[in-house]
Chains A and B, each alone.
Chain A
Amino acid sequence: MEVSVNVNGEDVTREIEPRLLLVHFLRDHLQLTGTHWGCDTSNCGTCVVWMDEEPVKSCTVLAAMAGGHRVRTVEDLEQDGELDPVQEGFIQEHGLQCGFCTPGMLMTARALLDRNPDPTEHEIREAISGQICRCTGYSMIVRSIQWAAQHESAVSLEPSTAGSAS
């Protein structure tokens, strides 16, 4: 079957098998390997991307179901050579070691801060509670997201990169 998806602002059309999962569509058909493929059971959250501005686990969405929708992946966080504040936060606060969980964490963090620019630690932990990190013990991820929140609020008077990919 043919599927057309808007990925990171670009309309792409591909011939796929109906059983193809979104994570494999992104990685194998579009070569967007920033989205990682982990547990395959919607537990680990490394495959999180946005569908219509909401984080979803792309291992549990059919590529066909994304047809006609907007998908945003970690590749779209950087805009015009500028890292998104959540990416910068993960650098500044050492929010990753092996990096496997990072793309999913970044996409969930971005979505959280778009909805709630000043989250409490509890709200951050709740937001990433469907995602597993085996390196950092989460503390540094939480601090990374806090870093982004603090630095965004300092510069957020310009309606920046937050929001739609389309």
Chain B
Amino acid sequence: MQVPAPFEYERATSIDHAIDLLERLGSEARLIAGGHSLLPMMRLRFANPEYVIDINDLADELGYIRVEGDHMHIGAMTRHRELLESDPLADVFPIFRDAEKVIADPVVRNRGTLGGSLCQADPAEDLSAVCSTLDASCVIRGSGGERIVSMHDFHRGPYETAVGDAEMLTEVRIPLRPNGSSAYNKVERRAGDWAVASAGASVWMDGAAIADGRVGLAAVGANTTSIEEVTSVLAGAAPSEELYERVGDIAAANCSPQTDMRGSAEYKRHLAKELTRRSLRTAVARATGQEA
């Protein structure tokens, strides 16, 4: 039987209460949302918090998907199932539905949350790549107030984020820009597994040309941040198979996959290229109303 090491359980009843608890209990306290990343880590004793602070009572307060001004705001406790099923989200950012369809399985998606996924910061985690692809920002709250960091600054490396000891991620904000679309592709060994490799792409069109675009990868290196070189190549480019090929090559050259039980580094690099091409092709087709 795999059992976590002993810990004390606390339940937060509000965001402020959660932050108070974090401040009082110190660096050995961890928030638990859906628990589908943290509890497995605790059972394997990779994570051994002394205190676990349950924030599921904040699911109403922090579970939302709504447009405010020129940003989409998504609460950190929004569960995978809600991200999958939200039509307003899929209308603007179809990449979320693409990714959510292949994140874990329906029962796990009933529990797991956006915030938990991002804070886990697993290099193979899909939503970090999605949020990087969409140039999202993360709202981090502490007792001194809120601060907003880009995904680039949020995701510091494997299992490490910008969230401090007495802080919590409360919201993800994604800029709403016209004439854009997005897509996500993932290769997994079996339904619901972590990615062997995956790639997201987003584009914003200016007439027939790509005004701006981003690519985010998962499972092919320590970071899931977007690739700067892709963005500069896509700016002002006319969509074509040659362009997708070139961007795929850039993605493959800018990742650092490791050989493991899910595949060889060479195979993962191939996937990074091919999945980038496919996501980019689909994103452009969607943005121009030509999706098959």
Contact = CB atoms under 8 A, between A and B. Distances in A.
A56 interface: yes
Contacts of B104: 130
A72 to B, nearest CB: 14
B208 interface: no
Contact of B56 (A41, A48, A65): A65
B108 A57 contact: yes
Contacts of B3: 19, 21
The size class of the interface chain A forms with chain B is 20 to 34
A19 B192 contact: no
A163 to B, nearest CB: 17
Contacts of B5: 19
A32 interface: no
A40 interface: yes
Contacts of A131: 105, 107
Given A21-B3, A62-B35, A65-B56, A45 B107 contact: yes
Interface string B8-40: 110100000000000000000000100110011
B253 to A, nearest CB: 34
A62 B106 contact: no
A61 B54 contact: no
A39 to B, nearest CB: 10
B6 A129 contact: no
B1 interface: yes
Given A17-B6, A19-B4, A65 B54 contact: yes
Interface in A117-166: 126-127, 129-131
A98 interface: no
B264 interface: no
Interface in A3-62: 17-19, 21, 24, 40-43, 45, 48, 54-57, 60-62
Given A18-B9, A64-B9, A130-B192, A40 B108 contact: no
B66 interface: no
Nearest to A65: B54
Interface string A61-89: 11011010000000000000000000000
Nearest to B9: A18
Contacts of B39: 21, 60-62
A61 to B, nearest CB: 6
Query: Which of A60, A61, A62 is the most central at the interface, judged by chain B CB atoms within 10 Å of its CB?
Result: A60
Given A45-B107, A129-B192, A131-B107, A65 B35 contact: yes
A40 B43 contact: yes
B2 interface: yes
A102 interface: no
A18 B110 contact: no
Given A60-B36, A60-B39, A130 B108 contact: yes
Contact of B107 (A18, A24, A48): A48
Contacts of B192: 43, 129-130
A18 B8 contact: yes
B6 A54 contact: no
Nearest to B8: A18
A18 B191 contact: no
Nearest to A43: B192
A108 B106 CA distance: 10
B218 interface: no
Given A21-B3, A40-B2, A129-B106, A60 B8 contact: no
A130 B107 contact: yes
A56 B191 contact: no
B52 interface: yes
B106 A42 contact: no
B6 A42 contact: no
A3 B156 CA distance: 37
8 contacts: A1-B9, A19-B4, A40-B2, A61-B39, A65-B56, A67-B11, A130-B105, A130-B107
The 5 closest A-B pairs by CB, nearest first: A130-B105, A18-B9, A130-B107, A19-B4, A64-B9
Given A54-B110, A62-B39, A129-B191, 15 more contacts: A1-B9, A18-B6, A19-B5, A19-B7, A24-B1, A40-B1, A42-B40, A45-B107, A48-B107, A55-B107, A57-B108, A61-B35, A61-B111, A62-B9, A130-B108
